[in-house]
Structures are given as C-alpha cells and as structure tokens.
Structure 1
Amino acid sequence: MLRLHCTKKLLDRIGEKPSISPVPAADSGTHLATWYATMLFWKPQVALLVNERTLLPVLMPLAPAKTLATRFPAHLANVLTAHRWLAHQIDAEIRQLNQHQLLKTANRSVLGSLSDFTFLAEVHKQHDGSDDLPRIALALANTPCAPIRYQSPSDLITAIGASGAAMH
C-alpha cells in the first residue's frame, strides 16, 4: 500500500481528507511504500514526492491532482528504470502500491529534505532552462543527504536495486 503524506497545500488541492491514522504496515516486501509529497507552483504545476526511507525524489505533473496517487506508480517505475532496477524488481515494487492512503505529514526530517529538494529543483530548472522532470529528479537524487547512510538517494536506491535477492 502506498502511504502518501501530503503537505496541507497539496491535500487542499487534491480535495480529499487525510486518513486519521495509517493502515498498519504489512510485511509486503516493498521498500518504497511511504512517500512525502508537496506541490511546486510551476507552469504547469508539479508534484514533488520524496521517499521516507531513501529520500529518492520523483517529480511528476500535478494535474489532475485528484489522481496523483494512482498515477504515481508509473512515474516511480520510470525513475527506478533510470536507476537501473531490473523489470521484475520494479514490477514487484509497483504491484505493492495498488492501493493508497493519504495522510498528513509526520516526519520533520523528511519534510526538511522535501523543502531542500523543492529549492534545488527550482535551481536546476532555472539553471538548465528545462522542464524535463525526469532529468531534474535524477539530478536531485544525486544530492548528498546526511540522514541516510549512503552518500545520496541515488546511491541508496541503486544499492537496494542491486540487492535483488531481497525483492521477489
């Protein structure tokens, strides 16, 4: 199950009330079930999602906001492909995200990373003069992040993908 912790402005835009409490995590084998999300006021508007465990960023079009959670797995699959995950690993991960739950934000550390990535995404967009969301997301994934034990989200997601034995 996809647990999507959204900022207040994103929840307001989606127009759906968050769940009061998260559904208990089942041992589903997914590494990437819990995400934090906000919106970027670009033209067109963009959603920035950051994985709680790995801090892997994903950028995707916001519209239509109501379907953000159902469209997200396809965008995640593209990012995982760019990080050289094998097709069966991606399929196994995405299969676990067939249902979703919207929640309020809870982890201030991840919120800080979300804020940093928001700023850096704007810098990449301005510097490169491009709205290429996958390219910007890959650039963000190479940002050093202190709370994780790897140098960057890209390093950690690559390590998880390489340990395919843990994923069926």
Structure 2
Amino acid sequence: MARLDTWRLLASPSIVFVLRCTQKLLDRLNATPHSEPAPTDTVLGDWYANLIRVGRIQVVLAVSERSLLPIVVPARDGRALVQRLSEALVPILTSVGVPTADATAELGAMQHWVVGKTASRRILGSLNDLAFQLQVGLLNFPDRTLLAHSLWLAKTPLKVIDYGAPDQATRAAFAAHRALQAVIGR
C-alpha cells in the first residue's frame, strides 16, 4: 500500500485536525505519525481510527474525540482514507440532526490534517466497544450500508459520555458551538 502523505499539512500554516490511528491502521497505511501535532480547532476534535476485519470485509472505524460520533468507511486505498471520511461526514452529521450549514462548515474545517498516534485510552476504549458492535453488525446485517452501520453505532450509549449516545453528544456539541459563536459575534 502506498505511503499516506502528511507533507501537505506540514506546509500549511495550521493543522486543523489529527487523524489518530491505532498501530494496526498505521501499519496498514504505511504512515509515519506526526510527533507533536497542533491542537485541533474543529467542533468534533481529532478523529481516532482503527482497521476492522470481519471475514473478507475490511473497514475503517473512526470516532470523533469530542462526541465519539462513529464513521465507517471502506479500508481500500489508504491514501484516500481522509477523503472518504470527509465524504461520509456531511451525510452522517445531517442524519443525526446537525444543520446542513454546520455540517458543511465542519467539512470545510477538516481540509487540513495530519496523521498522529492515539493519545487517549478512554477514547480507545470507546473505539474498541464500537468496533465490537460493528463486527456484530457486519456479520448479522451484511446488506446494511456503511452509512447505516455508522448511524446504528451512533445510537450506542457509551460510558465516556455518561451513557449518552454519540448522536446526542454531536448535536449538543454543535449547539454549544453555535451558541458560543453567537456570543462572540462570529
């Protein structure tokens, strides 16, 4: 597999988000993680991702750092992983109730990225919980689309967010962001 390029970010003035990959995914992507990425300035924060294999099916499960919103995308062509995550973002956000304008703004903020190592065991634990659920879903519902799997996982209560579901936490994060923007006049 071709090496996942991070050079385009290093030349940009600021890093907007970090794709924090498990070692298994870093190996699959043949990627070298950035040593000290800058803080993320998107509503959903960094994204944690892992390679999931169920039989012959290989997908990447990514969750946002701040709301644990899951996105499931095909694992093929590692160089296009961030592009596939970006393409899946707006449909998932609008499906969970985020206004289209907010979803589009988040997509715009995710144009610059860098690959990093995972940094939070709490988020990794949630990623593992969702990975187990996804494996069950892929086995029991093989005709379900990856978007449908993502939305199904988004309704899973998780301890890290006080047994709330990622879809609820995502709506709350965007509502809080809109309120903050209104206060500071942007």
Q: TM-score, normalised by structure 2?
A: 0.81
Query: Which residue of 94, 101, 104 maps to 1:81?
Result: 94
Residue of structure 2 equivalent to 1:39: 51
Q: Does structure 1 residue 21 correspond to structure 2 residue 36?
A: yes
RMSD: 1.8
Relative contact order higher in (CA < 8 Å, ≥ 6 apart): 1
Query: Which residue of 47, 56, 61 maps to 2:69?
Result: 56
Residue of structure 2 equivalent to 1:92: 105
Deviation at 1:9, TM superposition (A): 1.2
SS in 1 for 2:67: coil
Deviation at 1:33, TM superposition (A): 2.8
SS in 2 for 1:17: coil
Count residues in correspondence: 165
CA contact (8 A) 2:44 2:170 kept: no
1:31 alignment partner AA: V
2:136 alignment partner AA: V
Distance in 2 (alpha carbons) for counterparts of 1:147 and 1:114: 11
CA contact (8 A) 2:17 2:39 kept: no
Residue deviations 1:20-75 (CA, integer Å, cap 9, x gap): 111234xx4x2113010001114341100011111111101111112212331111
Moved more, 131-140 or 113-122: 131-140
Query: Which residue of 19, 23, 42 maps to 1:8?
Result: 23
Structure 2: which 5+ runs fail to align? 1-15
Q: Radius of gyration: which is bigger?
A: 2
SS in 2 for 1:36: strand
Structure 1: which 5+ runs fail to align? none
1:72 alignment partner AA: L
CA contact (8 A) 1:121 1:140 kept: yes
Deviation at 1:130, TM superposition (A): 2.7
Q: TM-score, normalised by structure 1?
A: 0.89
Deviation at 1:103, TM superposition (A): 0.5
Residue of structure 1 equivalent to 2:149: 136
Moved more, 148-157 or 48-57: 148-157
Distance in 2 (alpha carbons) for counterparts of 1:141 and 1:40: 17
Distance in 2 (alpha carbons) for counterparts of 1:138 and 1:152: 11
